[in-house]
Amino acid sequence: MSDPVKLTLVGATGLVGRAVMEELVGRSDFRLTAMARREVPLPKGARMEMRLAPVEQWGEVLNTIRPQVVVCALGTTWRKAGREEDAFREVDYSLVLDVARAAKEAGAWHFIFVSSVGANSAAKNFYLRVKGETENALAKLHFKRLDILRPGLLRGARHGDMRPAEGLGRLASPLTDLLLQGSYRKYRSISAHRLSQAILALAREKAGGRFVHEHDGLMRAIHRYELKDQQEQA
């Protein structure tokens, strides 16, 4: 068996971060360290390290961890940012870039960023424009491998931040997903659990380059993840 992948998760308090930690319970092919500003309840049976520090010290923490792969699931919402563009950009652009630069300085060769479907630096929508600008800035850091994930609507249990319209969207997603065909398939929803499997599949990849994964690409990564597990259990 090969050595476990040294994986650092940034954004452990969010829906995707929690799903990644849960998916890693009982796995020995990854050695997980998570970074957060506040204490995060760990999944039952989790074997991982949690580093708590203010964001100003995250660079120092990364330098002590020396990860191979960094997963960045940072992100805020328009509501949490007080509907202020600067506050939103501070997290979804500036903090993500600060983490990426620190990760590279700490020796990480592979960066995985959870973005959003429709991300485009030329978009009229402010949220999607910031996501696109962040993707472009990450590309300029020249990691050996950069994976950009663009999921559609994320399904899963959020804590205290779901708007009524968003909740209705999740309830309707099994039907609306069937209607999204052709070039609209990229807007299909995905559960945080399944997205975490795609993340871990990509974290095991060795080829270099910049890769953008929309819905179908994420499904292919999940298939590789499941197939590899089946082969190892056979």
Please give the chain's pLDDT, 234 residues, in tens.
Answer: 578 999 999 999 999 999 999 999 999 999 999 999 988 888 988 889 999 999 999 999 999 999 999 999 998 776 776 678 999 999 999 999 999 999 999 999 999 999 999 999 999 999 999 999 999 999 999 999 999 999 999 998 765 555 444 554 555 567 788 888 999 999 999 999 999 999 999 999 999 999 999 999 999 999 999 998 888 876
Contacts of 96 (CB under 8 A, 6+ apart): 72, 74, 113, 134, 138
The predicted pLDDT at position 179 comes to 85
CB crowding 23-39: b at 16 or more within 10 Å, else e: bbeeeebbbbbbbbeee
- pLDDT tens for each residue of 188-232: 999 999 999 999 999 999 999 999 999 999 999 999 999 988 888
Instruction: Provide the whole-model pTM.
Output: 0.92
d(Cα 165, Cα 171) in Å, to the nearest integer? 10
The predicted pLDDT at position 164 comes to 47
Owner of token pair 């652009």: 93
Domains of the chain, earliest start first:
5-233 (3.40.50.720)
Please choose, from the candidates 109, 3, 108, 110, the residue with its C-alpha nearest in 3D space to the C-alpha of residue 66. Answer: 108
Contacts of 201 (CB under 8 A, 6+ apart): 221, 222, 224, 225, 228
